[in-house]
């Protein structure tokens, strides 16, 4: 019955994409909390109530946007890795970490929606977001693991073992989310993530530019410092 795609099905998909595109544009102009069905409908020259054909309510639109953003971020990381396939893993990791900031800087509001202030009254359903998060984070920890296996990194203190107070959680996370990596690789992934995340957040809200000017250069220094402390040989380039 509903097996072949009718013209109507196709139009439906297009409209659904348009809704999300308009929503993203409006968030870019007004901030993540300013998202509004009425504003989207106005922009599309459509009745507000028509939107309810596509989403049961505002929260579901938000969830769709959040999942899209995690997925787009993951895709950007994968693309950065694959663009350097065949080169040393440390070069791939370097590219991936730069791509992380790159995506955040070119899609600042999408990044805010994911990692910024929660939207009052809205809670993202974890079962929908977690897979997309895992997909992105896997790129990073997968390369760290590969680094060890290939001998491109020799762990040194204090980053040569998972501290006892974190071990249980790290282990549980590997089990429940299915990361195919060692505990140490996952732990170093988290450590690198928390460290670089601060730069990106401060940059997005313009707290860092007046202080150090070229944030891109600063970020690259911090990634290099991270490599140094994780016992990774310096990457061939950059």
Partner DNA sequence: TGTACATCAGTGAACGCGCGTTCACTGATGTAC
Taking CB under 7 A as the binding criterion, the range among 3-11, 66-74, 104-112, 174-182 that sits at the site for DNA is 3-11
Smallest CA-to-CA distance from 163 within 194, 131, 187, 135 is with 187
Mapping DSSP to helix (H, G, I), strand (E, B) and coil, where does residue 10 land? helix
The token duo for 62 is: 């938000």
Q: Which does 58 bind (CB under 5 to 8 A by kind): a second copy, DNA, none?
A: DNA
Taking CB under 8 A as the binding criterion, the range among 7-15, 40-48, 91-99, 183-191 that sits at the site for a second copy is 183-191
Q: 36 vs 12, 68, 113, 142, 188, CA distance in Å?
A: 21, 18, 14, 39, 39
The nearer residue to DNA, 7 or 85, going by C-beta atoms, is 7
In whole angstroms, what is the distance from residue 123 CA to residue 217 CA? Answer: 36
In whole angstroms, what is the distance from residue 105 CA to residue 237 CA? Answer: 22
Least distance to DNA from the beta carbon of 15, Å? 5
Cβ proximity of 140 and 103 under 8 Å:
no
In whole angstroms, what is the distance from residue 24 CA to residue 19 CA? Answer: 9
The token duo for 13 is: 């998909």
In whole angstroms, what is the distance from residue 196 CA to residue 200 CA? Answer: 7
Contact pattern for a second copy over residues 96 through 115, marking x by CB under 8 A: ----------------x--x
Q: Does 120 bind DNA (CB under 7 A)?
A: no
Least distance to DNA from the beta carbon of 113, Å? 15
Interacting residue with a second copy among 59, 197, 231, 233 (CB under 8 A): 197
Q: Does 35 bind DNA (CB under 7 A)?
A: yes
Q: Using CB under 8 A as the criterion, which residues of the chain lie in contact with a second copy when the complex forms?
A: 30-34, 112, 115-121, 158-159, 163, 165-166, 168-170, 173, 187, 190-191, 193-202, 205, 207-208, 210-214, 217-218, 221-222, 224-225, 228-229
């Amino acid at each position: 019955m509903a097996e072949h795609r009718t013209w109507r099905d196709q139009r439906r998909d297009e409209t659904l994409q348009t809704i999300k595109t308009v929503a993203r544009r409006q968030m870019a102009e007004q901030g993540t909390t300013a998202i509004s069905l009425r504003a989207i409908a106005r922009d599309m020259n459509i009745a507000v109530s028509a939107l309810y054909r596509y989403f049961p309510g505002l929260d579901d639109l938000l969830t769709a946007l959040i999942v899209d953003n995690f997925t787009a971020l993951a895709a950007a990381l994968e693309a950065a890795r694959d663009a350097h396939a065949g080169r040393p893993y440390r070069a791939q990791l370097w590219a991936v970490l730069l791509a992380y900031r790159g995506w955040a800087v070119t899609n600042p509001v999408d990044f805010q929606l994911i990692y910024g202030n929660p939207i009052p009254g809205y809670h993202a359903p974890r079962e929908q977001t977690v897979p997309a998060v895992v997909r992105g984070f896997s790129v990073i920890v997968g390369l760290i693991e590969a680094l060890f296996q290939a001998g491109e990194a020799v762990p040194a203190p204090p980053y040569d073992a998972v501290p006892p107070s974190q071990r249980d959680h790290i282990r549980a996370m590997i089990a429940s989310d299915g990361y195919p990596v060692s505990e140490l690789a996952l732990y170093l992934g988290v450590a690198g993530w928390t460290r670089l995340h601060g730069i990106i957040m401060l940059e997005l809200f313009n707290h860092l530019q007046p202080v150090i000017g070229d944030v891109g250069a600063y970020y690259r220094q911090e990634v290099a410092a991270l490599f140094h402390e994780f016992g990774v040989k310096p990457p061939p380039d950059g």
